[in-house]
Amino acid sequence: MGKCYIAGLLICALVVMNVAQVHGDTNVTITFLDSAISKGAVCLDGSAPAYSYVEGFGNGSHSWIVYLVGGGWCSQISECRDRSSSRLGSSHLMGSQTTFSGILDSNCTFNPDFCNWHKVFIYYCDGSSFMSNIEQIDPKINLTFRGARIFNVMMDEMLAKGMRNAQNAILTGTSAGGLATILHCDKFRKLFSDAIRVKCISDSGFFMHGEGHHGYENRENFFANVIKTHKLANSLSPACTSKRNSSLCFFPEYLVEDIQTPLFMLESAFDRFQLTSLVLGITNCTTYLTRCNSTELGIMRDFRSTFIKTLEQRVHNSSNRGMFVHSCYLHDHVLKSDEWTCLAIANRTMRQAVADWYFDRSSFREIDTKNDSPRNCTNKFCQ
Ligand SMILES: *[C@@H]1O[C@H](CO)[C@@H](O)[C@H](O)[C@H]1NC(C)=O
Ligand SMILES: *[C@@H]1O[C@H](CO)[C@@H](O)[C@H](O)[C@H]1NC(C)=O
Ligand SMILES: *[C@@H]1O[C@H](CO)[C@@H](O)[C@H](O)[C@H]1NC(C)=O
Ligand SMILES: *[C@@H]1O[C@H](CO)[C@@H](O)[C@H](O)[C@H]1NC(C)=O
Ligand SMILES: *[C@@H]1O[C@H](CO)[C@@H](O)[C@H](O)[C@H]1NC(C)=O
Ligand SMILES: *[C@@H]1O[C@H](CO)[C@@H](O)[C@H](O)[C@H]1NC(C)=O
Ligand SMILES: *[C@@H]1O[C@H](CO)[C@@H](O)[C@H](O)[C@H]1NC(C)=O
Ligand SMILES: *[C@@H]1O[C@H](CO)[C@@H](O)[C@H](O)[C@H]1NC(C)=O
Ligand SMILES: *[C@@H]1O[C@H](CO)[C@@H](O)[C@H](O)[C@H]1NC(C)=O
Ligand SMILES: *[C@@H]1O[C@H](CO)[C@@H](O)[C@H](O)[C@H]1NC(C)=O
């Protein structure tokens, strides 16, 4: 985890953990994209960016799913320096393989709609949700801020591997990768012709500003510092920056209304990462829900009701938008086999809800409005 506290906030690198081999999970070898180095599309430490890939087959051979993994952000140069000597800033330190599970599972029993698609897992090593693009390398700092270039070379690589012939495509990602999905969704869409079905699925990427609510100044300062440190002001959505201070333009509540591409939000209204890192901090309460006192529970409930209100206001009520908002105290879903396969709202599992929406079988905009306290779900949704 390393150094985590910034301005009293905990911003730990939350990465999707390898899950035990339930279902048909397979481990996929990492590929280093060495050709990206000459284009300056490199990790914080200057190393090559990396991905893992599984080829599609059968009627999935013209369908592509691109997954962006999470891992927080660095908001200060010192944090970026620390990050550059971890797997979140250097491909030299990434593992040799990663587990493809949940939406990336190749077993059609568990993942019938997407099992045979081409699947791409893109590693995260820029600390800016794939947004940075600073040409100069300050010799005193000696870090490369090139997340946007990494995104671009990865897309070029996949187009060359066959994604240019795709009939179906999905951009998805979790946490900082779920935010990257929102930030890059329309850009991804433009890689394909209008006739192609292209949609985005953001998993745990709706990081809320929640102006006026507990901890909002800290959230505001944190993302303002990310934007400043990575010099992102000119890369942000003009639709957002024309309406408000650009330092607020990492908050999805100010972005989603202007996104043209169909977008699905998979969220917990009691998002564990947000409540821990951006609202309450690491406390007995955020570690063990049974130890929350009434004040803390009140803050969590206020977070939830603001979160739901914000989603309802900002996420259009149209089939172009999907929403699955539950009450389990969790963060990150699509690679978690049990959650993907069995966590349900309104009788539809996450997998069914996403697939029905993606294939236009039906819309899905469901919020668990029954549970107004965070639920300690055991992650064993399939029992
Ligand atoms: C995948 O890797 C994980 C951790 O490295 C390991 O526990 C698991 O057994 C591996 N699974 C397969 C199918 O090889
Ligand atoms: C692919 O084939 C499976 C099994 O025959 C079917 O259920 C699925 O709908 C097909 N998918 C597409 C995109 O045609
Ligand atoms: C998928 O999982 C089921 C249940 O574990 C197993 O019986 C089947 O052989 C698996 N299929 C593939 C293609 O691995
Ligand atoms: C800067 O970083 C690069 C890439 O890691 C390294 O090769 C080089 O030696 C570093 N330069 C200085 C002056 O530290
Ligand atoms: C925009 O926000 C930043 C960071 O919070 C602040 O320093 C700056 O003064 C604001 N700019 C304007 C024009 O309000
Ligand atoms: C957390 O719980 C432990 C054990 O019950 C207690 O000693 C400690 O003071 C608590 N910490 C806070 C911040 O309440
Ligand atoms: C949830 O319940 C399990 C089992 O009782 C417990 O070990 C875990 O600490 C609880 N988690 C939280 C966040 O309270
Ligand atoms: C609840 O816990 C927090 C943090 O441990 C503490 O600051 C606060 O005073 C407590 N509130 C009540 C009503 O006990
Ligand atoms: C969304 O719009 C439909 C039809 O206009 C309406 O029936 C439904 O209640 C709306 N849902 C929400 C959450 O506003
Ligand atoms: C969910 O499905 C079960 C079993 O099929 C059914 O009994 C129940 O009425 C359904 N609930 C809702 C809310 O549709």
Domain borders along the chain are 2-367
Reply yes or no on whether the pLDDT at 152 is more than 50: yes
**Average pLDDT of the residues in 15-19:** 40
**Average pLDDT of the residues in 198-203:** 98
Reply yes or no on whether the pLDDT at 14 is more than 60: no
Q: Residue 23 C-alpha to ligand 3 middle, in angstroms?
A: 8
Q: Which ligand 8 atom lies nearest to the CA of residue 293?
A: 1
- Confirm or reject: Cβ of 347 under 6 Å from ligand 10: yes
Least confident window among 87-91, 127-131, 377-381: 377-381
Reply yes or no on whether the pLDDT at 46 is more than 50: yes
Identified catalytic residue from 268, 331, 332, 338: 331
The yes-or-no answer on residue 331 being catalytic is yes
pLDDT (0 to 100) of residue 13: 41
Identified catalytic residue from 25, 105, 271, 368: 271
Q: Residue 248 C-alpha to ligand 5 middle, in angstroms?
A: 9
Q: How confident is the model at residue 379 (pLDDT cuts 50, 70, 90)?
A: confident
Quote the percentage of the chain above a pLDDT of 90.
Answer: 90
Reply yes or no on whether the pLDDT at 305 is more than 80: yes
pLDDT (0 to 100) of residue 121: 98
**Average pLDDT of the residues in 307-317:** 90
Nearest CA to ligand 9 atom 8: 317
**Spacing of C-alpha 99 from chain mean position:** 17
- Confirm or reject: Cβ of 24 under 6 Å from ligand 3: yes
Q: Residue 344 C-alpha to ligand 10 middle, in angstroms?
A: 11
Ligand nearest to the CA of 30: 1
Reply yes or no on whether the pLDDT at 327 is more than 90: yes
The yes-or-no answer on residue 175 being catalytic is yes
Tell me the pTM.
0.92
**Average pLDDT of the residues in 107-136:** 97
**pLDDT per position as a tens digit, 88-119:** 999 999 999 999 999 999 999 999 999 999 99
- List all residues whose CB is within 6 A of at least one atom of ligand 6: 283-284
Reply yes or no on whether the pLDDT at 143 is more than 70: yes
pLDDT (0 to 100) of residue 315: 86
**Average pLDDT of the residues in 134-147:** 96
**Average pLDDT of the residues in 28-49:** 98
Nearest CA to ligand 4 atom 2: 142
CATH fold for domain 2-367: Rossmann fold (3.40.50)
The yes-or-no answer on residue 271 being catalytic is yes
Mean pLDDT of the chain: 93
Q: Tell me which of 282, 284, 291, 292 to substitute to probe ligand 6's pocket, judged by most ligand atoms within 8 Å of the beta carbon.
A: 284
Reply yes or no on whether the pLDDT at 25 is more than 80: no
pLDDT (0 to 100) of residue 2: 35
Reply yes or no on whether the pLDDT at 150 is more than 50: yes
